[in-house]
Amino acid sequence: MNPFLINNYLSPDYFCDRESETKTLLDNIHNQSNTVFFAQRRVGKTALIQHVFYLLKKKEITSIYIDIYATQNLKDFTNQLANSIYNIFPENKSMSKRFWEAIKLLRPIISVDEISGTPQLSLDITQNKQFEKTIPQLLHFLDVQNIKTVIAIDEFQQILNYPEKNVEALLRTSIQQLKNVHFVFCGSNQKMMHHIFNSAKRPFYASTKNITLQKIDSTIYAHFIKEQFEKHKFKINTNDIELILELSDSHTYYTQRLCHEIFANGIKTITADSILQTINHILLDNEGVYFQYRNLITPAQWNLLKAIAIEHKIEQPYAQKFMYKHNLGTSANVKRGIEALVEKEMIYYNTGVAKPYYEVYDKFLMRWLQYK
């Protein structure tokens, strides 16, 4: 089996580090606090939640995970919540009976998901007023089971896109009343997450503990990479591991992906050449997507993106030197371009460090732009 996972979590054996974040999350859960964390895309938010849930299994704490990225409104949210509770409780007979009694009042419809074959529950609710009651009811149901439960809501910033305007207040009020149910909120849009949790006028303000999730430390990652390869009798030296981490910028997904492909090649002695060949192969496979990106933004934005890629990290995009070197026009042009690229999530503004900087979000795209 390829030990470098690229789209799921299996067990601690395949999971690198995150020790302090894991400990903080577990401590918060044991101390009845809700936690929020934001991190850039593909750095390992979902995997961290799954890792914590894996460890909670042994502690008799029920864990519920919902990803609300695809939800459009309060109805979708309520259905996701109901559905995930339903999927947890059939395992426990007496519990599911009680769940059913509570939920019968909400006229549930059970269907089978065509792709996964798992049963899906949806509630036949048409009035907004009904939703406002359903969420507190579902949470109250969990709370009175006298079982410690953690609900992780992934891509939580999505609630800001719902047409209903009172979602934050509704959730905050229901959550506040719970004794046995606690929450982990996580999201990848920095601005929106900040808006929900750090604005003094908004319902969630000061209601949660924050953690930050940065990239995995490269020394720790290097150790992990060596160990995973060596377990399978691959040979790799320290310099070549450094090369991998440099190419992937130590960003979790890109590191995993590059290692995954190197492993998949099956050549037991890894060299700098074979690493470079592998990344070229990945970039070639993605080229179609990169050309599509180019069609989605203006030529000026594309030039700016390329300039940022070449610089790798840029602290002061409005400095004459940068604008002049890359022929980017006026600072007003650059300002507009930066805003558009941040909005489209083509570049990322890392403010979680002493000296904030801009960088291309997708690390493989960054390499491709540099090589072109």
Q: 328: which residues sit within 8 A by CB, 6+ positions away?
A: 300, 303, 304, 307, 322, 334, 337
Q: How far is the CB of 86 from ligand ATP (least distance, A)?
A: 24
Q: How many whole angstroms separate alpha carbon 24 and alpha carbon 144?
A: 26
| Residue (162 or 253) nearer to ligand ATP, CB | 253
- Closest residue (Cβ) to Mg ion? 46
For residue 16, the partner it binds in ligand ATP, Mg ion, none, with Cβ less than 5 to 8 A by kind, is ligand ATP
For residue 351, the partner it binds in ligand ATP, Mg ion, none, with Cβ less than 5 to 8 A by kind, is none
Written as six digits, the tokens of 308 are: 């940022």
For residue 75, the partner it binds in Mg ion, ligand ATP, none, with Cβ less than 5 to 8 A by kind, is none
Q: How far is the CB of 151 from ligand ATP (least distance, A)?
A: 17
Can you give the binding site for ligand ATP, defined by CB under 6 A? 5-9, 15-18, 39, 41-47, 188, 252-253, 256
Angstrom CA distances, 79 to 104, 123, 266, stand at: 14, 6, 44
For residue 161, the partner it binds in Mg ion, ligand ATP, none, with Cβ less than 5 to 8 A by kind, is none
8 Å CB contact between 174 and 166: no
| Residue (40 or 149) nearer to Mg ion, CB | 40
8 Å CB contact between 172 and 206: no
| Residue (45 or 367) nearer to ligand ATP, CB | 45
The secondary element (H helix, E strand) that includes residue 323 is: helix 320-325
User: Which single residue is written with the structure tokens 């992906």?
Assistant: 257
How many helices (H) and strands (E) are present in the chain, helices listed first?
Answer: 15, 9
> HSE (CB half, 13 Å, CA atoms) of 319?
11
Q: How far is the CB of 4 from ligand ATP (least distance, A)?
A: 7
8 Å CB contact between 44 and 254: no
For residue 372, the partner it binds in ligand ATP, Mg ion, none, with Cβ less than 5 to 8 A by kind, is none
| Residue (138 or 192) nearer to ligand ATP, CB | 192
8 Å CB contact between 215 and 17: no
For residue 251, the partner it binds in ligand ATP, Mg ion, none, with Cβ less than 5 to 8 A by kind, is none
Apex 47 CA angle, 68 and 167, nearest 5: 20
Contacts with Mg ion in 187-246 (CB under 5 A)?
none
Q: How far is the CB of 262 from Mg ion (least distance, A)?
A: 24
| Residue (131 or 221) nearer to ligand ATP, CB | 221
Q: How many whole angstroms separate alpha carbon 275 and alpha carbon 257?
A: 12
Q: How far is the CB of 45 from Mg ion (least distance, A)?
A: 5
| Residue (46 or 71) nearer to Mg ion, CB | 46
For residue 148, the partner it binds in Mg ion, ligand ATP, none, with Cβ less than 5 to 8 A by kind, is none
| Residue (232 or 372) nearer to ligand ATP, CB | 232
> HSE (CB half, 13 Å, CA atoms) of 180?
15
Residue window 24-53: x/- pattern of binding to Mg ion, with contact defined by CB under 5 A: ---------------------xx-------
Q: How many whole angstroms separate alpha carbon 14 and alpha carbon 288?
A: 31
Instruction: State residue 208 phi and psi, 5-degree precision.
Output: -140, 160
Q: Is 157 in the site for Mg ion (CB under 5 A)?
A: no
For residue 44, the partner it binds in ligand ATP, Mg ion, none, with Cβ less than 5 to 8 A by kind, is ligand ATP
Give the rounded distance of the alpha carbon of 346 from its chain centre: 16
| Residue (71 or 122) nearer to ligand ATP, CB | 71
Written as six digits, the tokens of 273 are: 């050449």
| Residue (45 or 363) nearer to Mg ion, CB | 45
What residue ranges bind Mg ion (CB under 5 A)? 45-46
